[in-house]
Amino acid sequence: MENHIKIFAGNANRPLAEKIAARVGIPLSAASVMRFPDGEISATYEETVRGRDVFIIQPTGMSPNEYLMELLIMTDAARRASAKRITAVIPFFAYARQDRKDRSRVPISAKLVANLLVAAGVNRVLTIDLHSPQIQGFFDIPVDHLYAAPLLVRYLREKLPADNRVVVAPDPGGLKMAYSYSQLLDAGLALAGKHRTSATEVEALELVGNVDGKDCILTDDMTTTAGTLCAAAKLAKAHGAKSVRAAVSHCPITALGVQRLKDSPIEELITTDTLLQQEWGDFPITILSVADLLGDAIQRIYGDESVSKLFEIHQGRTQ
């Protein structure tokens, strides 16, 4: 396999890339992604990629403009070096929140990013928990869309009593995800209503469902300023929740978000390593690795096998 498959990493999350390569059973291939004095990006592959199946691991969160540009330049370099196929492994896909024109004179940035990736030479995309699943339709190339829920569910099954769990959707848009978690956890379901007062401020208005005396699990695909999660957590506590935890697939958290979590009733945040996490201080955070999931997907893509089989495998492990 090592002679035909090459796994490279940008600067966004090299520790995750090393774990993925270890799962696949090959060393991480050598590439240099440098900056010129004026900030321009340069990428050089230190080994041949001619005729190889190239996988570039690069989440685009936290510094999305920098990391997206790195990915585009690395893709162009691989294409010009005659790579056979280029798969962009994007554990966290930035700009996914801008997926529709919801008012006048605004962009559909998720579509723009899809166009840029295809124009650069990406042949396939592998990602986890897109903010809007319909973004898959923005691409005219195959997109393999994986889910972090089975990893989070396995942890929560071991953490909380089976007969006292309630999954809480922090807003109506997250109800479908919360329902999926409730089915996997054999748990109850509740819904918090919210009103967004600004880009960083959220007010929780009402809670539908019984959380009195229950261990509540807030679910979401991502959190940045934690406004939605914290507002829902306060509402759940006001309705008698015994404990409140949050489970999110991605955590591009800001300093404001960390402080809000520390000041909130949330006892623990469970997330994944799709993004490289910074120092959190004394707030309890549990980080689960998606390396095995992505490594298995890469092996299946390389072998022209079904990636959908991974859903069966990983969901089966949570039972």
Tokens 């994007």 identify what position? 90
Catalytic residue check, 194: yes
Of 6, 111, 194, 214, catalytic: 194
Query: DSSP of 153-188, one letter per residue?
Result: HHHHHHHS-GGGEEEEESSGGGHHHHHHHHHHHT-E
d(CA 155, CA 315) in angstroms, rounded, equals 13
Distances in Å between the alpha carbon of 304 and those of 90, 136, 299, 300, 308? 19, 20, 9, 6, 12
The residues that bridge with 143 in the sheet, in sequence order, are: 125
Q: Are 312 and 170 in contact (CB under 8 A)?
A: no
The overall longest dimension of the chain from CA atoms, in Å, is 61
> How many residues can be counted in the chain?
319
Which of 101, 90, 98 is CA-nearest to residue 9?
90
Strand 143-146 to strand 124-128: parallel, antiparallel, or no bridges (unpaired)?
parallel
Tell me how many degrees the CA angle 46-52-53 measures, rounded to the nearest 5: 110
Q: Are 253 and 271 in contact (CB under 8 A)?
A: no
d(CA 225, CA 97) in angstroms, rounded, equals 14
d(CA 4, CA 172) in angstroms, rounded, equals 46
d(CA 60, CA 146) in angstroms, rounded, equals 16
Q: Which residues are catalytic?
A: 194
